[in-house]
Structures are given as structure tokens and as C-alpha cells.
A = this chain, B = another copy of it.
């Protein structure tokens, strides 16, 4: 971290911060993606055969896309932590690093001989981040965790879907990414603390615990219901406290919309050209609309069905109430708004060709933008990193590779 300290202004907030990134799949790689995009030197350390997302790409094919999307601006090396030579090499790297991040199951790093307590002794300034399903302690510690099992265990599935259907997962990997950004957040907190104390911390994030707060509305409803479990509400408000609040059928798809305040309701009626409904007692207050929620929703949908998504959306902007067309993946990927903001960009990936990739969503105004560099191929930077850090020659590297260490 020497470089950044002397500069009066870092052109990227994490310039000079070195990260050893042992992470895999989505949670950890998203954490280190945010670091790489903020200017940190992130060294993605993979087993000799690659991390699971890379190997899974061979099976289904689709995984090569997440691999390309979440590992831009990282350097890629291989290292076999199951070999004593690999462990020794890793310990040497730790002496030069600011942060180690991993999202193995609890105990894996300890069994490899590179757990927090050992690394902390080697480098007391080191900050160590670990992302797991259930955390490093407690009776559920060793339960196997994936986005989908945590969506189930954490209660998110139980509140998604309709009352007479099964519990439903969010089709997006919300818990992996929620916990990934929490891991980044915890590590930044520790990095700030270290700037005052000089000492690194063990930072722990559990997927289940990062998911819990998202249930705030639902927990509020359970509280009001005196501890009975409220039924699933489909696309209605989680607390059944607002109406209209739903996803309505349009002539060409669906549109979400929401009435939060009484002015919104009047704006909706204006957009519908139905100010006559101001006299309808079943609709006159939010309380009344919630009590007559089927009637409220039917009234809205009878109107939305006659119009296209975009026309309804234009009316919502003209008259002032929150609405949004339900957009599909292709629409989102091509969103002119995010492309104009350069948080999405077209990029020529060496493996995939021309694809849309996201930039960081942490925008610090006035800092330099890290230009996108493609996700590394397996071991792409072995020569560069190991030579620069340890003076290894090509011969040394060949010998390490032949010995199964790289």
C-alpha cells in the first residue's frame, strides 16, 4: 500500500491496495470485483484446474458469462494450496498483501494451514475477509450454502410467490450478491480502521444474516399479526399496507405500479381519466383501498390492459406516480440510461466476443475511472506476478508447474 500513501490524491480510491483473492462463484468474486474497479490490485488465485465457475463453464456453457462479468480488472494466477510448496508461496505473498478474501466453507483455510490466526501472525496489518453461508460459529455453521438454500433458510422464499402457490425463489442470485457487497463493506470498514490503528481484522459475513434485514416489511406484518405467519402476497405490498401496489397486465406485457401517497392516487385517477372515482368510498383512502384490494386492483387492471407498457409509463411520468415497465434481460442489458452513464458498456471479451459488462455501481465522483480489462484466463498472470514479486525465472515457473504447485 506504499504507493497511495505518499500521493496527495489517489486517482482511484483503492490505488495501492493489494488483494489476494481466493474467492469463487459469485459472492466473493463480486466483493473483489468492486475492489478491482476501485483501483486495487486484485490477484485472483485459482486452483490449478480453475475455480468452480470456470470449470462449470465447460458443462453448461452459461457460466463463462458470469466469469467474464465478475472478474474484469483482476490478475489471474494459479496456486495449489494443497501442496506444501504452494502454502509456503502463499504465505510469502501474504507478507506483501493488504487483504485476503475467501469464501470457502468454514474451516477450509484452517485445514490448509492458512487460516486467519496463522496469516495474522505472518502479517499483523493483513485484513482477512471470509464470506460463508451461516458464519464461523453457531449450530448451523457447517450447513452447506448456496444462494438458493439461503433464500430458503433465511425466509425470503416464504414471502415470495402467491398465497395458493409454492414458495418461490428470486430468479436473481440476490443473496450471493447481498453478501458479496456486505463482505466488501466489512473489508472497507476494517481498512479504514487500520488507517487509524495499523492492525488488521478478521471480517466475517454470513449470507443468512445479510438477507435478514430485507424482510423488514414482512416482519412488520408478522409483528402486527401477533406472531402468526402472514400469507404470501404475490406482487402486492409485503406489509399489505398500500394499495394499489401490484404488477398489472398491459397490452404488451406487464407494468409495476405503486401508490404511496394520496397525491399519487389522484395522479393515477387523472392519468386514467377517471376523476369520477374520487367519489367511490371503496377507493377514497389508502385504508379503504387496502380493505377493498381486489376491487382496487381490478379497477387498475381494467385500465392497464387497454394500453401498452410504455404508454402507461409515460402517463405515470406526466402525472406523477411511481411505475415501471417489467423489463426483460435483453431490454435491461441494452438500457440506454445505464449505457449513457457508462455503468454498462459494450466490451470485446477475448473468449465471448462483444458483450455487455457492468462497471462498478459505487460511483465516487472526481476519481479516475478504471478502464475495463478482460477477466483473466486461467493462470494468465503467473509469469508476471511470480516474477515481479519473487524474481522467479521462466525455468522456476516451469518447475513449479511441473510439480503441480502452479
Contact = CB atoms under 8 A, between A and B. Distances in A.
Interface in A1-55: 4-5, 7-10, 13-14, 26, 30, 33-34, 38, 52
Contacts of A7: 196-197
Given A171-B156, A185-B34, A189-B364, A177 B209 contact: no
A157 interface: yes
A182 B191 CA distance: 16
A232 B52 CA distance: 25
Nearest to A139: B337
Contacts of A210: 181, 361
B157 A326 contact: yes
Interface in A283-304: 286-287, 290
A338 B159 contact: no
B202 A332 contact: no
A362 B203 contact: yes
A178 interface: yes
A21 B248 CA distance: 35
A153 interface: yes
B212 A358 contact: yes
A312 to B, nearest CB: 12
A238 interface: yes
A365 interface: yes
A60 B242 contact: yes
Nearest to A178: B178
A224 B62 contact: yes
Interface in A239-269: 239-242, 245, 247, 249, 254-258, 260
A192 to B, nearest CB: 5
Nearest to A210: B361
Interface of chain A: mostly helix, strand, loop or mixed: mixed
A220 B320 CA distance: 36
A323 B171 contact: no
Given A134-B337, A333-B219, A365-B204, A168 B358 contact: no
Contacts of A394: none
Contacts of A38: 189
B13 A190 contact: yes
> Which bracket fits the contact residues of A?
35 or more
Contacts of A159: 171-172, 329
Contacts of A355: 223
Interface string A177-212: 110011011101111110111010111111011111
Contacts of A242: 60
B324 A361 contact: no
Nearest to A56: B241
A264 to B, nearest CB: 9
Contacts of A181: 178, 181-182, 185, 210
Interface stretch (A77-85, A88-96, A142-150): A142-150
Contacts of A363: 135, 186, 203-206
B169 A333 contact: no
Contacts of A325: 152-153
B197 A30 contact: no
11 contacts: A13-B190, A14-B193, A56-B241, A116-B365, A144-B321, A156-B171, A181-B182, A188-B188, A188-B192, A189-B364, A195-B195
Given A69-B219, A171-B238, A189-B362, 15 more contacts: A5-B196, A13-B193, A62-B217, A64-B220, A66-B216, A70-B216, A152-B254, A152-B256, A161-B171, A166-B249, A168-B168, A188-B188, A204-B363, A212-B343, A219-B333
Closest CB pairs A-B (n = 9): A60-B241, A159-B171, A188-B188, A65-B220, A62-B220, A155-B332, A152-B256, A209-B361, A149-B324
